[in-house]
């Protein structure tokens, strides 16, 4: 029987050996992906013993997230407080015991808890642990301009909407405001108060960051892309002549201008954009086809999630959507290019994406990566991540960008966007009114860039969106854009 017993011994030892292998697998190979899972309450709770890194605004330098220490069961635990409450809630997010993290608290968790794989933090952390001290996380400095952020929220008021402002030269994100907002200090124990928030829109969705995860009908702001596509195609110049009858015929049906009572008659492309004439862009769309316009949109970042430091699922790609899914047509005939060209036809965009479009147009066609993080600093003061400007791509040629920029300047000078004029600055903008067919339920837009003069690169790009409006983009969104832009531009002038 001994031969059998020896074989059985091998079987028994292999069985236990498999357990050693699998323990190794879970504790080394799979540990990181398990730690990232949102339902991993053990990791989440364990990380409360870490002196979590702070999160700062850029200007003025304030603590957006800080810690309070509490002794529980002989252990020092660190709980989050957000001194400015709802002010930067959507970008910063929250870190609580009860719920999984959001915002930068989630995406930068490895830095904030010093568990990023970096030699110096690994050594520091091990030393902290050996000394029995609390591990200290790294601090994050954001690009957020707290005063402009506060002003944007104040201007949005009780309306549902968002304001996103960035520096198109560097991609620094200065404002990321979304309403209705919420106080992240309430998440831990009073989440019911947040879920019962109501607003001028349903669902109110206060936790949703409308700036980067809200999808809206772009309306006429999309004409900026159509105009760029038209110029890039070489078939049209800025002075290309059109005749506006007040409507455009698509598949034998009439698609009307915003105001059908006063057709413009003979008009060139530049004035058509400044006055936002639907029929002109409808004709361009039919001529170019949907795919050519969409390909230009892709050059501006459509059909991909904008690269920001916030969590992946808090940033949505812009583009055509069909039954909740991003959709790219296989054939030109799959999409009504005429209506798409002026921003209807299931085109959905985020304010962040539209701010990037406005910025790239103003900045000679250069699309810069947006950044909400300025730098990450280890507890000793060593800068471990210093975010530098990065070009995504030259979206369109400088010539095209400059021509479209001139059209947008004309729109602010004497077109639909006059409400955004700021004395002493050169502003180019585009209004948008996405009609839902229900009165008082329009989505209104204003996107713009602003610089010292027509020649120097713009210092600021902005996108403002409002839900459920009865007015137009020029009447509702453009004034907000002006106030926020003025605060940032003149704030930097007189520090």
Partner 1 sequence: MSARGRELFGLVVAGLIASIALASVTIARDADIAASAVTWGALFLALYLAAHVVVRRTAPYADGALLPLTAVLTAFGLASIYRLDSDDGGRQAVWVAVGVAVMAGTLYWLRHDYRVLESYRYLFGVTAVALLLLPSVPRLGEEVNGARLWVDLGFIQFQPGELAKICLILFLAGYLREKREVLAQGRLKDIGPLLAIWGAAMLVILVTNDLGSALLNFGIFLAMLYVATGRASFVAAGLALFIAGAGVLYNAIGHVQDRVTIWLHPWTNEPVFCAQNGQLELRQDCGSYQLVKSLYSIANGGFGGTGLGEGTFNSVDGTQLIPYLRTDFIFSAIAQELGLIGAAALLLVFMVFVARGMRIALQAQDGFSKLVAAGLTFGFALQTFIIVGGVLRVVPLTGITLPFVAYGGTSVVANFLLLAGLLLISNRANSPRA
76 part of the interface to partner 1, by CB under 8 A: no
- Residue 40, C-beta contacts closer than 8 angstroms, at least 6 positions apart: 34
Peptide bond connecting 180 to the previous residue in cis, omega within 30 degrees of 0:
yes
Find the binding residues for partner 1 in span 314-353 (CB under 8 A).
none
Closest CB to partner 1 among residues 250, 326: 326
DSSP conformational letter for 99: S
Find the binding residues for partner 1 in span 24-63 (CB under 8 A).
24, 26-28, 30-31, 34-35, 37, 39-43, 45-46, 48
Chain centroid to Cα 241, Å, comes to 36
11 part of the interface to partner 1, by CB under 8 A: yes
> Per-residue x/- mask for partner 1, residues 80 to 109, rule CB under 8 A?
-----------------x------------
13 part of the interface to partner 1, by CB under 8 A: yes
> Per-residue x/- mask for partner 1, residues 224 to 243, rule CB under 8 A?
--------------------
3-state secondary structure of 23: helix
Find the binding residues for partner 1 in span 126-155 (CB under 8 A).
none
Chain centroid to Cα 278, Å, comes to 27
- Residue 319, C-beta contacts closer than 8 angstroms, at least 6 positions apart: 294, 297, 302, 303, 326, 327, 328, 347, 348, 349
* Listed residue (28, 34, 89, 98) closest to 64, CA to CA: 89
In the bound complex, what is the minimum distance in angstroms from residue 226's beta carbon to partner 1?
37
Say if CB 199 and CB 180 are below 8 A apart.
Answer: yes
What sign has the CA pseudo-torsion 406, 410, 412, 415? negative
20 part of the interface to partner 1, by CB under 8 A: yes
Tokens representing 266? Answer: 């003979």
In the bound complex, what is the minimum distance in angstroms from residue 382's beta carbon to partner 1?
25
23 part of the interface to partner 1, by CB under 8 A: yes
- Residue 90, C-beta contacts closer than 8 angstroms, at least 6 positions apart: 103, 176, 177, 178, 181, 209, 210, 211
Closest CB to partner 1 among residues 40, 418: 40
Chain centroid to Cα 123, Å, comes to 35
Q: In sequence order, what E strands does 379-418 have?
A: 383-386, 391-394
In the bound complex, what is the minimum distance in angstroms from residue 89's beta carbon to partner 1?
22
Closest CB to partner 1 among residues 129, 154: 129
In the bound complex, what is the minimum distance in angstroms from residue 187's beta carbon to partner 1?
14
Closest CB to partner 1 among residues 41, 383: 41
Q: Which residues pair with 146 in a beta bridge?
A: none
Among 59, 71, 72, 489, binds partner 1 (CB under 8 A): 72
Closest CB to partner 1 among residues 18, 383: 18
In the block, tokens 């990065």 appear at 390
Closest CB to partner 1 among residues 46, 383: 46
* Tally of CB atoms within 10 A around 252: 5
4 part of the interface to partner 1, by CB under 8 A: yes
383 part of the interface to partner 1, by CB under 8 A: no
Tokens representing 316? Answer: 């949505």
Say if CB 423 and CB 438 are below 8 A apart.
Answer: no
In the bound complex, what is the minimum distance in angstroms from residue 77's beta carbon to partner 1?
6
Binding segment toward partner 1, per CB under 8 A, in 11-19, 215-223, 376-384, 472-480: 11-19
Site size for partner 1 (CB under 8 A): 42
In the bound complex, what is the minimum distance in angstroms from residue 73's beta carbon to partner 1?
8
Distance CA 458, CA 360 (A): 10
5 part of the interface to partner 1, by CB under 8 A: yes
Binding residues for partner 1, per CB under 8 A? 1-9, 11-13, 15-20, 22-24, 26-28, 30-31, 34-35, 37, 39-43, 45-46, 48, 72-74, 77, 97
């Amino acid at each position: 029987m001994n031969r059998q017993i020896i074989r059985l011994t091998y079987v028994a030892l292999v069985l236990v050996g498999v357990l050693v292998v699998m323990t190794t697998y879970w504790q080394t190979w799979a540990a990181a992906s398990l730690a990232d899972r949102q339902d991993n309450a053990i990791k989440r709770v364990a990380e409360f013993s870490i002196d979590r890194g702070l999160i700062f605004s850029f200007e003025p330098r304030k603590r957006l997230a800080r810690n309070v220490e509490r002794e529980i069961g002989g252990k020092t635990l660190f709980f989050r407080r957000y001194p400015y409450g709802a002010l930067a809630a959507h970008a910063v997010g929250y870190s609580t015991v009860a719920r999984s993290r959001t915002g930068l608290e989630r995406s930068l968790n490895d830095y904030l808890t010093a568990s990023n794989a970096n030699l110096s933090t690994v050594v520091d952390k091990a030393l902290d642990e050996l000394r029995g001290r609390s591990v200290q996380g790294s601090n994050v400095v954001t690009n957020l301009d707290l005063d402009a952020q506060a002003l944007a929220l104040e201007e949005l008021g009780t309306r549902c909407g968002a304001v996103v402002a960035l520096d198109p030269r560097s991609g620094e994100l200065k404002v990321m405001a979304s309403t209705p907002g919420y106080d992240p200090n309430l998440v831990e124990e009073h989440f019911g108060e947040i879920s019962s928030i109501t607003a001028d829109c349903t669902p109110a969705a206060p936790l949703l960051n409308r700036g980067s995860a809200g999808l809206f009908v772009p309306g006429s702001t999309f004409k900026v892309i159509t105009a760029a596509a038209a110029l890039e195609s070489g078939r049209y110049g800025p002075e290309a002549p059109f005749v506006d009858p007040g409507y455009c015929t698509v598949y034998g049906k009439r698609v009307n201008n915003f105001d059908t009572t006063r057709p413009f008659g003979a008009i060139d492309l530049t004035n058509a954009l400044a006055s936002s004439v639907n029929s002109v862009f409808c004709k361009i769309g039919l001529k170019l086809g949907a795919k050519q316009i969409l390909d230009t949109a892709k050059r501006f970042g459509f059909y991909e999630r904008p690269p920001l430091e916030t969590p992946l699922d808090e940033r949505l790609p812009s583009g055509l959507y069909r039954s909740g899914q991003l959709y790219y047509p296989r054939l030109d005939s799959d999409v009504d290019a005429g209506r798409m060209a002026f921003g209807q036809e299931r085109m959905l965009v985020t304010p962040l994406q539209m701010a990037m479009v406005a910025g790239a147009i103003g900045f000679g066609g250069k699309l810069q990566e947006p950044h909400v993080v300025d730098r990450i600093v280890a507890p000793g003061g060593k800068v471990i991540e210093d975010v530098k400007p990065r070009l995504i791509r030259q979206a369109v040629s400088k010539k095209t960008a400059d021509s479209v920029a001139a059209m947008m300047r004309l729109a602010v000078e004497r077109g639909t966007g006059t409400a955004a004029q700021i004395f002493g600055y050169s502003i180019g903008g585009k209004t948008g009114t996405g009609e839902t067919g229900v009165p008082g339920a329009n989505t209104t837009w204003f996107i713009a860039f602003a610089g010292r003069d027509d020649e120097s690169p713009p210092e600021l790009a902005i996108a403002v969106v409002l839900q459920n409006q009865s007015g137009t983009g020029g009447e509702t969104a453009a004034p907000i854009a002006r106030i926020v832009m003025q605060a940032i531009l003149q704030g930097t002038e007189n520090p």
